[in-house]
Amino acid sequence: MKPRRKAVPGMRSRRTPTVRRIRPAITPVPPTSRPATRPAGAAAPPASGQAGPRGPEPALDVLGGRPVRLAVDLGRGLVLTNPVIAASGGCGFGVEVAELVDLPRLGAIVTRGVAVKPAGGQPAPRTADVPAGLLIGVGPQHPGLQQVVDRYAGTWARWPVPVIVNLGGASAGDLAEGARMLDDVAGVAAVEVNLSSGGGARVFGLDAASTSSAIAAVRRATDLPVIAKLTAAAGDLRAVAKAAEEAGADAISAINTLPGLAVSADRGGAALGSTYGGICGPALKPVALRVVYEVVQAVDIPVIGIGGVATVDDVLDFLALGAVAVGVGVAALADPMLPVRLADALADACRERGLEDVAALVGTALPARPGPASTRGAEYAR
Amino acid sequence: MRLAGAELVERREVLPGTFLTAWHAPPVVTGARAGQYVHVRAVDPGGLPRRIPFPIATADAATGVLTLLTSGTGWAGTVRVGDRADIAGPLGRPFEVDPRSRHLLLVAEGGAIVAVRFLVDEAVRDARSVVLLFGAATASSVYPTSLLPDEVEYVVATADGSLGHRGSVADLVREYEAWADQAFAAGPPSLLATLATQAAGRRQRLGVATLGRKRGGGRPPAAGSTEARRKAFLQVAVGQSIGCAAATCLGCAVEGADGVALRACREGPVFAADELAWPEP
């Protein structure tokens, strides 16, 4: 038997691998204390949660050029370093894309939908190509909220980006239970309530009363910021948004996918195993813009625009209609770095226009006086 | 996974509406194995950035060229020689050939042949005998022999009987199942289900004795492990549409034998036949 080599102090072992040190091309900005830009009247962050801003102060002159302020306050202490977030479904639970994405440069990450009870998802096939988009019928697939928290929250807590959990449930009680489980968890920055979920045929987001009960239940169960995610399938979105605001939502995200259908290649049935799927991608953008336009005029809380964002022009469109932030969903599947590049492009767009704060781009396309509601169908004919 | 800015060096129509495209992408070719796929960034006319999965048809490490079988429609119909594309890969888990297997049976139908095509090269390199059974609708859509190495025994079945055996390629498998040490298949779900059912009854039909501790004894390898796949008689490459290739979108799920959804992009696209749940063929 070969004797083990003894370590001689001061002598370098021959087996030590050479570590090549590569100097980063960009010197990282050292994290400073929390931004001092919070409005005086804003609510203080809860002492229990991790809802506060954890990223560095958005000094965005890293690549040269004038600094542009991109930070967005979504209320209750949830401050994003920039207004581009990875929307629910586009990045799983975040850990899957952690190696592919420059996390500190994301505004926030929203997890895929979870609920208290585990779910196995829909049968295959789960995606179908549709013009200018993708029809997705994945369905809820997760190991249950407790498992998700146990597995991932520790990782989230170490990340320099706020992680928002997308929460679904069959009843208001389910939602409340889920929100309670998330309440004190380090690493969870906010809860996004999926109002397109629900038990059986009843979906919360379709009418104001159900929305109100769902959001109120979550509001009572947690001190975290609560974001209500609307569905465009509702009849009167202004009333639904108003109900969410009055029930205690801190922000609104709009919209979720719209239910759709595709026919299989042999025309023997639906293309998806789940029959119905959700339409994502640019096909959804005009609907999302319409919803944001209506909701922004109905409520005073911040609105996050989601639906078909793939280029910086899409981001600017949503901001012009009054959204303070945008979510990138299906487009991030092919290109996980897209949200980060959109944030950079947004800063450039501000510089081009000589603006120092992205807030100056918000709401430029809104009418001086609230416009009429759109959703009655017949009104288009006028 | 590696990213490469690949250049299209050749594109020719090998079957009506099907093109063999050769891309120069050395970083992707390095270490690529049969059964793996690449994810090609395509531009959708509707403005949605998409990546399309393509099984690697061949990969030549010496020249850094990989070939893919593409359709002539959509993005793939617009590319021309000299165009560049962003290719990520090699992705997914490859076919696992048992080092002791001398006789490999490859079964494919239609365009899915591309998923087992690279395995032919690997088997010939390793001096294994290969039989490739191929099924097509009609003679005009039979994969050309000129694109296969000479060492392969190539047996064709067509649905209309215009070339080779008349009927399904699955009918040919019986003849070879005693000869084969391992089988590898790619094709539509119905074909794979038929083959999986046949493979499950193979040992009994052939009267293969199970000699308890012959293979080293001990506990059998965990389902889904490389070891378990290497020992499986039938491995299949599923043709699921892969959206993100990062295991985030869960769009490529396949139902596992225990009812749990497996992701073709991460746990696949190659599976041992007994890992998956098969509908009645």
Q: Do B46 and B108 belong together in one domain?
A: no
Please report which confidence band the pLDDT of residue A2 belongs to, taking 50, 70 and 90 as the band edges. Answer: low
How large is the average pLDDT for residues B59-80?
A: 86
- For residue B141, tell me if it sits in a domain: yes
Q: Do B59 and B189 belong together in one domain?
A: no
The CATH number of the domain holding residue B45 is 2.40.30.10
**B190 touching A (Cβ < 8 Å):** no
- For β-strands A251-254 and A226-230, DSSP reports them as parallel
Which candidate in B250, B252, B260 is best for mutational testing of the A interface (most A CBs within 10 A)? Answer: B250
**A235 has pLDDT over 50:** yes
Q: What top-level class would CATH report for the domain A72-365? A: alpha beta
Which of B63, B91, B119 is the last residue before a domain boundary? B91
The predicted complex's ipTM stands at 0.78
The CATH number of the domain holding residue B180 is 3.40.50.80
Distance (Å, whole) CA B183 – CA B195? 10
- For residue B217, tell me if it sits in a domain: no
Instruction: Specify the pLDDT at position A307.
Output: 92
Using an 8 Å Cβ cutoff, are A231 and A255 in contact? yes
**Chain A positions in Cβ-Cβ contact with residue B248 (cut-off 8 Å):** 90-92, 96-97, 112, 333
In order, the DSSP letters of B149-198 are: -TTSEEEEEETTSSSSEES-THHHHHHHTTT-SEEEEES-HHHHHHHHHH
- For residue B219, tell me if it sits in a domain: no
- For residue B218, tell me if it sits in a domain: no
Please report which confidence band the pLDDT of residue A148 belongs to, taking 50, 70 and 90 as the band edges. Answer: very high
Q: How many domains does chain B have?
A: 2
In which domain, by residue range, is B12 found? Answer: 2-91
Helix axes A237-246, A208-221, angle to 10 degrees: 20
Please report which confidence band the pLDDT of residue A13 belongs to, taking 50, 70 and 90 as the band edges. Answer: low
Q: Do B257 and B180 belong together in one domain?
A: yes
Q: Do B80 and B49 belong together in one domain?
A: yes
Please report which confidence band the pLDDT of residue B73 belongs to, taking 50, 70 and 90 as the band edges. Answer: confident
Selecting from B46, B244, B254 the residue whose C-beta is nearest the C-beta of A281 gives B46
Q: Do B58 and B145 belong together in one domain?
A: no
Residue B213 or A336, more confident? A336
Q: Do B191 and B75 belong together in one domain?
A: no
Please name the residues in contact with B70: beta carbons below 8 A apart, sequence gap of 6 or more. B18, B19, B21, B54, B76
Give pLDDT tens digits for B208-251: 665 555 555 667 778 888 888 888 889 999 888 887 878 788 88
**A41 has pLDDT over 80:** no
How large is the average pLDDT for residues A121-142?
A: 86
**Chain B positions in Cβ-Cβ contact with residue A334 (cut-off 8 Å):** 41, 49-51, 243-244
Which of B53, B69, B91 is the last residue before a domain boundary? B91
CA distance A131 to chain B (A): 6
**Subunit contact B249:A131, Cβ cutoff 8 A:** no
Instruction: Specify the pLDDT at position B214.
Output: 56
Q: Which of B87, B115, B95, B96 is nearest to B28 (CA)?
A: B87
Q: Do B48 and B113 belong together in one domain?
A: no
**Subunit contact A124:B240, Cβ cutoff 8 A:** yes
Percent of chain A residues topping a pLDDT of 90: 39
What ranges do the domains of chain A cover? 72-365
**Chain A positions in Cβ-Cβ contact with residue B76 (cut-off 8 Å):** none
CA distance A132 to chain B (A): 4
CA distance B174 to chain A (A): 29
**A58 has pLDDT over 80:** no
Q: Do B44 and B164 belong together in one domain?
A: no
Instruction: Specify the pLDDT at position A9.
Output: 58
**B196 has pLDDT over 50:** yes
Instruction: Specify the pLDDT at position B45.
Output: 63
CA distance A13 to chain B (A): 32
Instruction: Specify the pLDDT at position A37.
Output: 43
- For residue B35, tell me if it sits in a domain: yes
Q: Which of residues 75-114 of B touch A (CB under 8 A)?
A: none
Which of B61, B91, B121 is the last residue before a domain boundary? B91
**B261 touching A (Cβ < 8 Å):** yes
**A51 has pLDDT over 70:** no
Three-state secondary-structure class, residue B134: strand
On average, the pLDDT of chain B sits at 85
Instruction: Specify the pLDDT at position A44.
Output: 43
Distance (Å, whole) CA A217 – CA A177? 9
**Chain A positions in Cβ-Cβ contact with residue B46 (cut-off 8 Å):** 131-133, 281-283
Q: Do B7 and B109 belong together in one domain?
A: no
